Structure 1
Amino acid sequence: MTLFISIAIIHFFALLSPGPDFFFVTQSAIRQSRSHAMFAALGISLSILVWAICALSGLHFLFQKIAWLQQALIILGGVYLFYLGIQLLKSAFNQKPITLQNLASAPKSKTSLLLQGFFTNMANPKALVYFSSVFSLAINADLPLSTQSSLLALIWIESLIWFALVAYLFSWQKMNSAYQRLSQWIDGLTGGIFISFGCYLILNRD
């Protein structure tokens, strides 16, 4: 039980740190609807689960052996976030702002938001380093498969609950009204954050 509590606490504080995932969900909630934002949250949580599974299966150690593969993924992730940021900056200066669905030339659908949420999180391969570090502190080779599976379920559910809560809060009518007044500033700020994260991934690949 102590193991589960420790992992849950560490992951909770990691989730509290605002990043591209947080801003993607808030934009989805404000621009679309609560249900749309829930699909974005689901996509992000599924991506987090994938990174956790990769860390648990030792993919991080493979990256250490094949350095160019990790570097390539980090660069691709940085370019993707940079692209999203550029599109948001364009919307901030357009009279007719584009929606997040337009960022990947996808139709307005919950499925497209789910996929965009998934790839927004997958764009940061350093999540693999994070989970590898967390698991190395608490998990050993003798840990039963059932316990490992339960830990993965814990991480996925905790992530889904957090981003679903963000989607719920930012889909309130008051949030939507505030967004209508500040849409250009919000889009510009969010675009700048995405570009900053993208540049950070590209320029800091250690």
Structure 2
Amino acid sequence: MESQFFAVAMITLLAVISPGPDFAMTVRNSLQNGRVGGLMTALGIACGVSVHILYTLLGFTFVLMENLWLLEIMKYLGASYLVWIGLKSLFSKKKDNQLVQSEQNIGSFGNGYAFRQGFICNALNPKTALFFIALFTQVVLPETSLQTQVGFGLFIACAHWIWFSCVAIALTHQKLDTVITKIKDGLEKVTGACLLGLGLKLLFYKG
């Protein structure tokens, strides 16, 4: 059991810290909407992981393996969403600092919107689905109890939540505020381009 948990933990941590759509989305929302926006995105990502956990525990991973068209649908939906968010970031008009601060103060962005972005980004990511399929068919043993599998799932979700929360906190730290403010617009464009690129790569990837 200890060796199994160690394997799950190491694979999960390496997967979580690897830059991808979740990372780009957290960076984007943290830069655009401050710490709360970034933290809500991180929470949404963790809840998006719970979707993968649920169908894995219910045995639907085998359904996905036998019906690859379901993964294809997930791929196109997820890719289209990333492309849309990326384009919005790239072509968004620059706002002055007072207007941005005013919008954040009155909550015009909406914490629920940040949460939904994080949730959709992860829940529709076919690579996350493939990660769970591989993990629970190759690493987690068939005789592993349901309670232990649930524990593994909760660990994976918490790892996502903690890591991306740390990313949001780091990007909005007071000591970095001056530096981030100077390059904020450029970073937003870069993260937008990354989301667009990831979406297009996913959209046209054959494999």
Q: Which 10-residue stretch deviates more, 79-88 or 69-78?
A: 69-78
Superposition TM-score, scaled by structure 1 size: 0.86
Q: Is the Cα contact below 8 Å between 1:28 and 1:40 reproduced in 2?
A: yes
Determine the structure 1 residue equivalent to 2:128: 127
AA paired with 2:203?
I
Determine the structure 1 residue equivalent to 2:189: 188
Determine the structure 2 residue equivalent to 1:62: 63
How many Å separate the matches in 2 of 1:144 and 1:39? 32
The alpha carbon displacement at 1:89 in A equals 0.6
How many Å separate the matches in 2 of 1:88 and 1:126? 23
Determine the structure 1 residue equivalent to 2:103: none
Q: How does 1:21-36 map to 2 (within 5 A)?
A: 21-36=22-37
The alpha carbon displacement at 1:118 in A equals 0.4
Determine the structure 2 residue equivalent to 1:103: none
Q: How does 1:87-166 map to 2 (within 5 A)?
A: 87-91=88-92, 94-96=93-95, 107-166=108-167
How many Å separate the matches in 2 of 1:205 and 1:130? 17
Structure 1 spans left out of the alignment, 5+ residues: 100-105
RMSD: 2.3
Work out the number of aligned pairs and report it.
199
How many Å separate the matches in 2 of 1:85 and 1:63? 28
How many Å separate the matches in 2 of 1:82 and 1:23? 12
Given the superposition, is the C-alpha separation of residues 129 and 56 from structure 1 closer, same or farther in structure 2, using an over 3 Å criterion? farther
Given the superposition, is the C-alpha separation of residues 164 and 178 from structure 1 closer, same or farther in structure 2, using an over 3 Å criterion? same
Given the superposition, is the C-alpha separation of residues 20 and 175 from structure 1 closer, same or farther in structure 2, using an over 3 Å criterion? farther
- 2:91 partner SS: helix
Verify: 1:179 aligned to 2:186, yes or no: no
The alpha carbon displacement at 1:111 in A equals 1.5
The alpha carbon displacement at 1:116 in A equals 1.0
Determine the structure 2 residue equivalent to 1:48: 49
Moved beyond 3 Å, runs of 4+: 55-58
The alpha carbon displacement at 1:55 in A equals 3.2
Superposition TM-score, scaled by structure 2 size: 0.86
**1:28-69, Cα deviation, whole Å (9 max, x unpaired):** 223323233211111001112222332343333222332322
**1:138-164, Cα deviation, whole Å (9 max, x unpaired):** 223221111111111111112211111
The alpha carbon displacement at 1:190 in A equals 0.9
Q: Is the Cα contact below 8 Å between 1:44 and 1:117 reproduced in 2?
A: yes
AA paired with 1:76?
L
How many Å separate the matches in 2 of 1:117 and 1:175? 24
How many Å separate the matches in 1 of 2:130 and 2:156? 15
Q: How does 1:66-81 map to 2 (within 5 A)?
A: 66-81=67-82
